[in-house]
Amino acid sequence: MADIGMESAVGISAAGDGAGPGYRLLAKESPEEEGRFLEISMGPQHPSTHGVFRMDVLLDGETVVRLKPVFGYLHRNHEKIAEGTTYLGSMPYTDRLDYFNSMTNNWAYALAVEKLAGISVPERAEYIRVITAEMTRLQNHATLMGFLLQDLGAMGTPLMYAFREREKILDLFEAVSGSRMMCNYMRFGGCRVDLPSGWLEETVRLVDEFPGFLDEFEALLAENEILMARLQGVGVLSAALAVNAGVTGPMLRASGVNYDIRKVDHYGIYDRFKFRVPLGAHGDCYDRLMLRLLEMRESIKILKQALKQIPSGPVIDPKVKIRNFKPKPGEAYGRIEGPKWELGFYLMSDGSASPYRYRVRPPSLINLTVLEDLCIGQKVADVVVILGSVDIVLGEVDR
């Protein structure tokens, strides 16, 4: 009985195709359907929406019939502010996009500006960038898994383990950049300061110890029957839909598409490292979770190689001006494989000190667009899990 209602509602949603009032009509005005569905507003105050995010969910019993994401509660005018400030002045704001991964945000923005102004980056700075980016990936994936398990109701235990490890990485970030989360470390043409003495040894130790934590995590998660029951076959994203919707990152690879910008775009010095790209086959939440675990293992491989090879030398191109930085008119798009997915910055310069157009490709937002497709037909308990497996940060969704 339940599935009939579901199908009819899905039919209407397909016909209306994004027409918001479609399901309201169904819920409120058709007499035979009245009282059948329960419309609940999950968020903006909800424990599991990962910030101020709202989902307008229509339920048939506990089955999701329709889901409408509502964003914008954390809109901070990032792009327009950037168009009014200097190129450098936007750097600290990029920290606050995806506040988990400020290092990679910095890198993506620096990359775009470097393309725009034709700046080259010293060797050592490239290595530092790779090291910090991969460490960012480690802490992001670890925390994501923790949060996902938290959404599953695991009382924060995995989350606390993840945070324990993340603290160690953040300590290192603080030692190098001065701040734990808002690093503001990359600069156009390199990095702001050189690594402090002893930092590399600390990092080597961390990287050596990290697999132990991953093993622990895997023991806690990978074969857990409840976890498999909750995640396998839930929120399946087909490869075709993923590609069409512009989904990138681990979410795309969980659907089996081999697309990693580190491999495809050859940015930075990723060509020099040997690593593999794990691919899922089912595209469900379990794949998305496990893929992140595997990616962390690959990140550790990269880190080990980079820490071995890192040369000495300058960390920033001294020719790049800090004040009065005015790139030639033109446009550039810089993108990297962020921990979450493809993060891109599009810049258009008119030769003045601030960009004429500044645009972020916000991967959290783009990957969220498939949320409804993932959630329809699932239980309400799955919605928070699917949202967790998408791994959004509202700072980036709303900008």
Partner 1 sequence: MFGKGIIKGFIETARNFAGSYHDPARMVTLQYPEEKRALPENSRNFPFLVFDGNDPIKGLRCVSCKICEKECPPQCIYIVNERDERGKPLKHPKIFDIDISVCMSCQICVEVCPFDSIKMDQAYELSATERFKKLILHKQDLAKSNDYYHRIHPTEADAVDAILEAERKQHEAKKSAASSETPPAKQ
Partner 2 sequence: MINTGLAAIFLWAGLEQGLGKLLDHGLSLLPPAWRTWATIVVLVGVMLGVFASLFALSTLLERKGLGRMQNRLGPNRVGPYGLLQPVADGIKMLTKEDIVPRGADGVVHFLAPLVLFAPLTLSFAVLPYGRHWVPLNLDAGLLFFFAAGSASELAAFMAGWSSRNKYSMLGGMRAIAQMISFEMPLVVASLSVVMISGTMSLAAIVERQEAWLWIFPKWNVFTPWGLAGFGLFIVAAMAETNRSPFDLPEGESEIIGGFMTEYSGFKYAVFFMGEYFGMFAVSGLAVTLFLGGWNAPLSFLPASFLWFFAKLMALVLVFIWVRGTLPRVRVDQLMNLAWKYLFPMTLLNLFVAALWHYTAVWRAPGGLALRWVLCFAAIAVPCAVLARAMMRSHKWAPRVYRFGD
Partner 3 sequence: MQITFYIFGLLVIVGAAGAVSLRKPIHCALSLAVSLAAVAGHFLLLGAEFAGFAQILVYVGAVAILMVFVILLTRENTPGEGLGVGRWMIGAGVAAGVFGVIAACALASKAVWVASAQPEATARGIGEQLMGAYVLPMEALGLLLTVAGIGAVVVAMPDKKVL
The number of beta carbons lying within 10 Å of the beta carbon of residue 319 is 8
Residue 58 dihedral angles phi and psi, to the nearest 5°: -110, 125
Which is closer to partner 3, CB of 6 or CB of 371?
A: 6
Which is closer to partner 3, CB of 7 or CB of 167?
A: 7
> Which among 113-121, 202-210, 271-279, 316-324 is the span making contact with partner 2, rule CB under 8 A?
271-279
Amino acid in position 109: Y
Q: Is 398 one of the binding residues for partner 2 (CB under 8 A)?
A: no
Candidate list 17, 32, 223, 271; residue touching partner 2; CB under 8 A = 223
Residue of 113, 114, 110 lying closest to 95 (CA atoms): 110
Which residues lie below 8 Å from residue 125, measured CB to CB, with a gap of 6+?
189, 190, 191, 314, 315, 316
Give residue 70's Cα distance to chain centre.
19
Which is closer to partner 1, CB of 57 or CB of 234?
A: 234
Q: Is 94 one of the binding residues for partner 1 (CB under 8 A)?
A: no
> 213-252: which residues touch partner 1 (CB under 8 A)?
216, 219-228
CB 123 → partner 1: shortest distance, Å? 19
Q: Is 47 one of the binding residues for partner 2 (CB under 8 A)?
A: yes
- Using CB under 8 A as the criterion, what x/- string covers residues 17-46 for binding partner 2? ---------------------x-x-----x
CB 62 → partner 3: shortest distance, Å? 12
Asked if 190 contacts 114 with a C-beta cutoff of 8 angstroms, the reply is no
Which is closer to partner 2, CB of 14 or CB of 281?
A: 281
DSSP strand pairing (330-337 vs 186-187): unpaired
- Using CB under 8 A as the criterion, what x/- string covers residues 309-348 for binding partner 1? -------------xx-------------------------
Q: Which two tokens stand for residue 86?
A: 């200097």
Q: Is 171 one of the binding residues for partner 1 (CB under 8 A)?
A: yes
DSSP label at residue 32? G
User: Considering CB distances under 5 to 8 angstroms, the limit depending on partner class, which of partner 2, partner 1, partner 3, none binds residue 208?
Assistant: none
> 120-139: which residues touch partner 1 (CB under 8 A)?
none
The number of beta carbons lying within 10 Å of the beta carbon of residue 47 is 10
- Buried b or exposed e, range 321-342, using 16+ CB within 10 angstroms: eeeebebeeeebebbbbbbbbb
Q: Is 81 left (phi over 0), alpha (psi -120 to 50) or beta?
A: alpha
Candidate list 10, 38, 70, 175; residue touching partner 1; CB under 8 A = 175
CB 224 → partner 2: shortest distance, Å? 7
Please identify which residue in the block is written with the tokens 């989360």.
181
Which is closer to partner 3, CB of 138 or CB of 234?
A: 234
3-class SS of residue 337: strand
Which is closer to partner 1, CB of 221 or CB of 393?
A: 221
Asked if 102 contacts 95 with a C-beta cutoff of 8 angstroms, the reply is yes
- For binding to partner 1 (CB under 8 A), which residues are involved? 85-86, 88-93, 95-96, 157, 161, 164, 167-168, 171, 174-179, 182, 184, 192-193, 196, 209, 216, 219-228, 322-323
